[in-house]
Amino acid sequence: MDEIADKVSQVKQTLQELIDETRKSEGCIKYELFQNINDKHQLTFIEQWESEETLDKHTQSEYLKAAQDKIKDALTKPPDVKRYKHT
């Protein structure tokens, strides 16, 4: 495996470890990790939360901060977080 593939594998494993803990969080409706078929280096979480407040609580959780610290050196660019609302 090359260095980039190793980093992708490390990031993917760390993100997958977040799933069970996050799904137990208050207000979590959906929390799923996807990998881009055409660009294996791109990973995306699709999340649904009961409210902005429960999402904000999740983003401030210690386990999420620990995961971010664990993968920060493996990322080639900062996470691109977008929030949407259902219309």
Residue-range domain boundaries for the chain: 3-74
CATH architecture of the domain 3-74 equals 2-Layer Sandwich (3.30)
Please state the rounded mean pLDDT for residues 61-70: 96
Give the pair of three-digit tokens for residue 9: 């594998």
Q: State pLDDT tens for residues 69-85.
A: 999 999 988 999 999 98
Q: Is this model's pTM higher than 0.85 or not?
A: yes
Q: State pLDDT tens for residues 4-39.
A: 889 999 999 999 999 999 999 999 999 999 999 999
Query: How far is the CA of 87 from the CAs of 47, 72, 73, 84, in angstroms?
Result: 16, 34, 37, 9
70 CB-contact burial (10 Å; exposed 0-12 / middle 13-18 / buried 19+):
middle
pLDDT at 1 over 80: no
Distance (Å, whole) CA 2 – CA 9: 11
Query: How far is the CA of 29 from the CAs of 15, 36, 78, in angstroms?
Result: 18, 22, 25
Which residues does residue 47 pair with via DSSP β-bridges, in sequence order?
31
